[in-house]
Amino acid sequence: MTNEATRLRWLVYGMLIMASGGGMAARIFSVQSKSRKTPLLSANDRSRWSMIRAVVDERQFHIDDVIMPNGKRDREWYTIDMVRHRGPDGKEHYYSSKPPLFPLVVAAEYAALQRATGLRIAERPYYVVRVLLVITNLVPILFYLWLAVLLCERLGTTDTARLFCAAAACFGTFTTTYANTLNNHVPAVIGVMGALYLAITIWQDDRREWWRFLVAGLCAGVAAANELPALSFLCLTGAALLCKAPVKTIIGYGGGVAAIAAAFFAATLTVHDSWRPPYAHRSNGEERVVLDVPELPDGPLAAEIREQFSQADCPLGEAAVVRNSAGGQRQVWDEESQNRFALVANGQQLRVLNWDNWYDYDRSYWMQDKKGVDKGEPDQATYAVHVLVGHHGVFSLTPLWLISIWGVGCWLVAGKPWQRGLAFSIALLTVVCLGFYLARPLADRNYGGVNCGFRWAIWLIPLWFAALVRGADNLLSSRVCRAVALLFLAASVFSAQFAAANPWTHPWVYQYWQYLEWIVE
């Protein structure tokens, strides 16, 4: 009877995964922009695709010729998610603002596809992008769902809870929603799931094969390389494994993390000639010279000022001018040499610093008056409400995670030592990371921009899913609780599928909110 029940359960698992995979494949092969000319859905994924196209087709890292061929914007490829800085040729260029490691991996896939078929993304964007999305998103997500099912089997004790959670993984979270767009959330959430599952097998089964530690390190590294806050998960997982097997953790897990870290920084250095990724270049650089003047007027620099620059090894041409940047920063700009320096008042002197704000360039979207959610929520308490239970709410859009809270509590109260440790880790990472996002300054309190949910928390989904299995085990034995849980599942599936055609749209709660405001007006 037990074997028959197990076979039946795995049959249902297979049907759920295939149904979810079929839905994702259908969305990938029907994805298209609003103009219907490309399958690129937003500035976010256009930023990555522009870099991929530039690397393979143009043999360069900057995206000038992709987004602005012949000096004119190409609406189908132009993106606001870009930075501007000097390139190897000594001239300023536009670059994708996304960390380059992941786009370079997809660029390698594109290069192999192009060599095999001769297809070019500019000429056949639908064919190329959809095939690459299958390779980059669909196949890894199917592997993620398989790991989720294994977690159901490992952590669950009842068929009802296992099947309930398997259905939730396949249809009720935002992991699958992002299948038809190139983004950092998919590799991050898969990395967390992989590292989590291996860590659980090491602790629960006392499995200590070297490869488990190595692959766990690689997975945690991938997660952190694609979602910076997942660095907390990487460190906490390392600490947990260190308690179990110190030598194998240091060599195996640490080696996997080091490999990804080396690839991340090498890619960044190769593309941007800097160890720091683009998002770390938002302020002034090091000081170069101090001028004994309180201010410099707009316009050409005087010869004696240029001489002081030259003495500080900052040569400027006669055409160098003083002006305000797009963001209002006083700067010296030399069109001929493409040198740029920031001017900072210091009493009766002017400090001259290297220009290091890559987001501050002419017509930069990030230096303009923003609209909609990009303006930021001025009240932190209001922001917290909407992040948790409001129009972008983690619990209002996917109430399944309320069951996860119960699961964490069950483990803390009556779990085995390793289960209590896991529950504490889940609670700690959730509180710390959500607290970090809620405490961000006004400019960053924008719910992650236009997207289907609070996307910055998506990498936490595997952790919440593990707790969901425990909570469902405890709650689904009651008829009333089972009915409530099914309502939570239905609501979560609705939220995840509502934006499945384009995850770069507002959640249904937000859209309905706007509709109500329009009715009132």
Query: The tokens 């945690």 sit on which residue?
Result: 220
Tell me the pLDDT of the chain (521 aa) as tens digits: 478 888 999 999 999 999 999 999 999 999 999 889 999 999 999 999 999 999 999 999 999 999 999 889 999 999 999 999 999 998 999 999 999 999 999 999 999 999 999 999 999 999 999 999 999 999 999 999 999 999 999 999 999 999 999 999 999 999 999 999 999 999 999 999 999 999 999 999 989 999 999 999 999 999 999 999 999 999 999 999 999 999 999 999 999 999 999 999 999 999 999 999 999 999 999 999 898 888 888 999 888 888 888 888 888 888 899 999 998 899 999 988 888 999 999 888 899 999 999 999 988 988 888 777 888 888 899 999 999 999 999 999 999 999 999 999 999 999 899 999 999 999 999 999 999 999 888 888 899 889 999 999 999 999 999 999 999 999 998 899 999 999 999 999 999 999 999 999 999 999 988 777 665 44
Within 13 Å, how many C-alpha atoms sit on residue 348's CB side?
1
Question: Model pTM?
Answer: 0.93
Return the SS3 of 90. coil
CB 343 within 8 A of CB 305: no
Core vs surface per residue 423-454: b (16+ CB within 10 A) or e = bebbbebbeebbeebeeeeeeebbbbbbbbbb
Burial class (CB in 10 A: 0-12, 13-18, 19+), 263: middle
pLDDT for the residue numbered 519: 53
Which pair of structure tokens corresponds to residue 406?
């119960």
pLDDT for the residue numbered 521: 44
- Please give the single-letter amino acid code of residue 154: R
Based on its alpha-carbon atoms, the radius of gyration of the chain, rounded to whole angstroms, reads 25
Q: How far apart are alpha carbons 507 and 23 in whole angstroms?
A: 20
pLDDT for the residue numbered 308: 87
Which positions ≥6 away from 273 have C-beta within 8 Å? 87, 88
Q: Which one, of 292, 286, 320, lies nearest residue 306 by Cα? A: 320
Domain extents in the chain: 17-132, 283-357
* CA-based torsion, 116, 121, 124, 130: positive or negative: positive
* Phi, then psi, of 72 in degrees rounded to 5: -115, 140
pLDDT for the residue numbered 222: 98
Q: Which one, of 161, 195, 193, 184, lies nearest residue 472 by Cα? A: 161
- The residues that bridge with 299 in the sheet, in sequence order, are 322
Q: Which one, of 180, 195, 274, 270, lies nearest residue 227 by Cα? A: 195
pLDDT for the residue numbered 520: 47
- Alpha-carbon distances, residue 264 vs 50, 82, 214, 223, 433 (angstroms): 19, 18, 17, 12, 22
CB 256 within 8 A of CB 214: yes
- Please give the single-letter amino acid code of residue 472: A
